Amino acid sequence: MATGEGLISMVNWTKIRNDFPALERTINGRPVVYLDSACMALKPRQVIDAMNEYYECYPACGGRSIHKFGEEASNAYSEARRKFRKFLNASDDSECIWTRNATESLNIVASAVKLPKGSKIITTSLEHHSGSLPFVERARRDGLKTEIVKALPDGTFDIEDWKKAVDRNTSMISVVHSSNVTGTVAPMKEIVEIAHDRGALVISDDAQYAPHHPLDVQDLDVDFSAISVHKMCGPTGMGVLYGKLEHLKSMNMCFYGGDTVSDVRFENGEILPEYLPPPEKFEAGLQNYAGAIGAGAAADYLQAIGMSEIEKHERSLLEVALKRLSDMEHVHILGTNDISIKTGLVTFNVDTVSSAHDVATFLNDEFNIMVRSGWHCVGPFHYQMGIDPKKGTVRASFYLYNNREDVSSFLSGIETLIEASK
């Protein structure tokens, strides 16, 4: 059926929009237009209900208490990991580690993966600070070399730059799969092939990719993937680290304590621990059961709609936004206009105001349109492009609950701002 978004789809996007209670709000008598999903996605009732059910019906410890509540919590917790494994198409539940966010996932790998002395870590100028800094600091800690692959001005990569940078001494590559600034999607499969050909591991920062595109870690053959659940309709404070089991097994541990051990003996005045394999090896202490259950519900929710459908829907909105913004005299878009290699976001500046923050403030104050302004935790690319990070850029990001009316309101808001400020 025709959806009104210009694409043929079986998905009823209006019904989906109604799943998100936050969109029912009005502020000063006007509806909200939420275009900041690249920072934080809104939550559907299905996710909220799943978490509430845990707190209301079986709010117990998983994996230890033998009573009924404990059994239900354990089952729901295990089931959530299984749902996430399916979402990523990982080969084993144990390859999915619960973390607090993609940043923590990246930090775990950066600090705990075993890398040869004197080897080289590669990252890029387009990385979120969370994708670069853990590896920059790892290199500093162990005296490793670093090399930065520069993104092109439109946010894409030249694959020849990767072929030049990745050599036999390269041990680790951290690369953003979909940029939170330009929205450009990296040629991950090609990068992984180059890396593996030369014996390097790859961690894909999927914080922006996983919520918006079909993600198949086996097909991509990435060694690790870092995901933030709060960007994919799930709860805050939840993330996932995917890792190939062989790598997770060989990595050092980061945190020690309860739930990480198979035995802790006391012999000859010494405490002697024996540790569990992944995932428990990386999940010390009492876990965020409600968060994991919410994460599983979010994975289920998105998969029921279909990640390809979500990708198409977002791109249909992005196409309209990009076309009209490109025609506006005072608007300067950062990144390529090729929607076939973009996640549903557009980043830009308006030259009639001195700061991107003025755009975000104006849209919020006048129209309840919520966008993001700043450097988006990607200082290096802003510096590379000669953009003062303090002035920043404006980012409007679309998700499955947005519609054409949202895009129209946003574009009208920008036109009004330009008229009022020139």
Partner 1 sequence: MSDLSKNAQCVLRILASAGALTTTEILEIASTDEFADFCTDCAGGDAFVAAANQLVQMGLISKKFGKGGYRWQLVKD
| Interface residue list for partner 1 (CB under 8 A) | 352-358, 360-362, 365, 372-377, 379, 389-392, 420-422
How near is the Cβ of 372 to partner 1 at its closest, in Å?
A: 7
Q: Any idea what DSSP says for residue 143?
A: T
Residue 191 or residue 331: which is nearer to partner 1 going by CB?
331
Q: What does the DSSP assignment read for 279-320?
A: TGGG--SS--HHHHHHHHHHHHHHHHH-HHHHHHHHHHHHHH
Contact 409, 367 (CB under 8 A): yes
Residues counted in the chain: 422
Distances (CA, A) of 185 to 126, 188, 329, 338, 340: 11, 8, 27, 10, 9
Tokens of 358: 């003025």
Smallest gap, in angstroms, from Cβ of residue 65 to partner 1? 41
**Does the annotation count 254 as an active-site position?**
no
CB 332 within 8 A of CB 349: yes
Measure the CA angle with vertex 17, ends 16 and 19; round to 5°. Answer: 70
Minimum distance, C-beta of residue 349 to partner 1, in the bound complex (Å): 12
Considering just the CA atoms, what is the radius of gyration of the chain in Å? 22
Give the active site residue among 39, 61, 254, 377.
377
For residues 186 and 265, give the distance between their C-alpha atoms in angstroms, rounded to a whole number.
48
Output the smallest distance, CB 346 to partner 1, in A.
18
d(CA 249, CA 94): 10
Q: Cβ of residue 355: shortest distance to partner 1, in angstroms?
A: 4
Of 75 and 354, the one with the shorter C-beta distance to partner 1 is: 354
Which of 103/373 has CB closer to partner 1? 373
Q: Among all residues, which ones are annotated catalytic?
A: 377
